Amino acid sequence: MLHTIISRLLQGIAVVFCLLLITFVLVRLMPGDPFSGEKAHSAHIIQKNKERFHLDQSYVRQFSVYLGFLARGEMGDSPVKEQPVTKIIKHSFPASLILGIAGISIAILIGIPAGILSALKKNSYIDYGTMVVAMAGISIPSFVIAPLLAGQVATRIPFLKIAGWGDPFDWILPAITLGLGTAAYLARITRGGMLEVLNQDYIRTAHAKGVRPLIVVTKHAIRGGIIPAIAYVGPAFAALITGSFIIETIFQIPGMGQHFVNATKDRDYFLLQGVVILFGTLIVFANLAADIALVMLNPRLRN
């Protein structure tokens, strides 16, 4: 087990390194540079700036300088925002993390019970209704739900604001918007997993022994039936954090998403690299956590 985790972590480092390398090259291949934006400087100042950020040197040299930064636990300075990248990330990551955790919690709390209920009442109106709602949740993108929620709900309930990120009440609408799509996927996956398990012999045996139906479901069926959903939750959590920039834009949340999009637009090489490293690491850890949880739930996967 420990061996597997360590080898997975090493693989993860390799994945993040590849991601960094790809980003590093792609963003530099793009025309323009961090200094060619709206505020036009004289050629002299641009040259000075490029020297300051080593941008006048070869890619190999730039990359080794950057790896040197990383080794010292730094990520360089953002040429556009003129701040250390680590500081920008420290300021914006908490909001993204809270939003991601709230979003995945809502997704789990709605999606998994809905999926279980749907599987238990297979081919009933409850099942059809849940699955049509789930399909709607998958088909209606967050940037459609978000403005509608903000415009139609937030304006009617006194303690909800259309946008902003002050007190925990402000977390509610963005988290719902973020979590709904994932909840819909989870419901469908849970239903599939539960149906698979409910048809198996050991469930029939448990019923035949006279175990109460509620206990059969809670003690026997859920353990196996929930496995595909758990496998999905890990990557989904990472996707919620890395993909929340639309919701951050609509609800004006000071998270990482805005930096990610703006850094790409502004050719802010160092900020983009920092965000990509963070997102890549998150994805690696989320996948690893999901795999560990799977092994714990499913004894057949052990050793």
Partner 1 sequence: MSKNAQNNAALKGHSLWSDAWIRLKKNHMAMISLVVLLIIGTLCFIIPAFSFIPDPNTQNLNNTFQDPSGNHLLGTDQSGRDLLARLLYGGQISLLVGLVATTVSVIIGLSYGAIAGYAGGKTDSIMMRIVDILYGLPFLVLVILFSLLISEHAKDLTESLINRWPDHEVVIKKLINLVPLFVAIGALGWLTMARVARAQVISLKKQEFVEAAVSLGLSHPKILLRHIIPNMLGPIIVYATLTVPGFVLTEATLSFLGLGVESPNSSWGILLSEGANYMETYPRLLIIPSITFSLTLFALNFLGDGLRDALDPKAAKD
Residue numbers at the binding site for partner 1 (CB under 8 A): 12, 14-16, 18-19, 22-23, 26-27, 29-31, 122-123, 135-136, 138-141, 143-144, 146-148, 150-151, 155, 191-192, 195-196, 242-243, 245-246, 249-250, 260-261, 264-265, 276, 279-280, 283-284, 287
Cα 107 to Cα 59, 187, 212, 245, 277, distances in angstroms: 43, 9, 29, 18, 26
Least spacing, CB of residue 27 vs partner 1, in Å: 6
Q: Computed from CA positions of residues 72, 70, 238, 288, in that sequence, does the dihedral angle turn out positive or negative? A: negative
**What is the rounded distance in angstroms from the CA atom of residue 214 to the CA atom of residue 252?**
45
Question: Distance between CA 303 and CA 288 in Å, rounded?
Answer: 16
Q: Is 84 helix (H, G, I), strand (E, B) or coil?
A: strand
- Measured between alpha carbons, how far is 51 from 230 in angstroms, rounded to an integer? 49
* Cβ distance to partner 1 smaller for residue 68 or 235: 235
138 or 210: whose CB is closer to partner 1?
138
Report, in Å, the least distance between residue 63 CB and partner 1: 17
**What does the alpha-carbon distance between residue 150 and residue 252 come to, in Å, rounded to a whole number?**
12
Q: Which of 245, 234, 239 is nearest to 95 (CA)?
A: 245
Of residues 46 and 153, the one with the C-beta less far from partner 1: 153
Rounded least distance, CB 159 to partner 1, Å: 19
Q: Which is nearer to partner 1, 211 or 249 (CB)?
A: 249
Nearer to partner 1, 140 or 292 (CB): 140
Give the shortest CB-209-to-partner 1 separation in angstroms.
Answer: 26
Q: How far is the CB of 94 from partner 1 (least distance, A)?
A: 20
At 83 the three-state DSSP class reads strand
Q: How far is the CB of 238 from partner 1 (least distance, A)?
A: 8
**CA separation for the pair 55, 157 (Å, rounded):** 51
Report the residue number, 29 or 71, with the smaller CB distance to partner 1: 29
Integer-rounded Cα radius of gyration of the chain: 24
Tokens coding 6: 């360590």
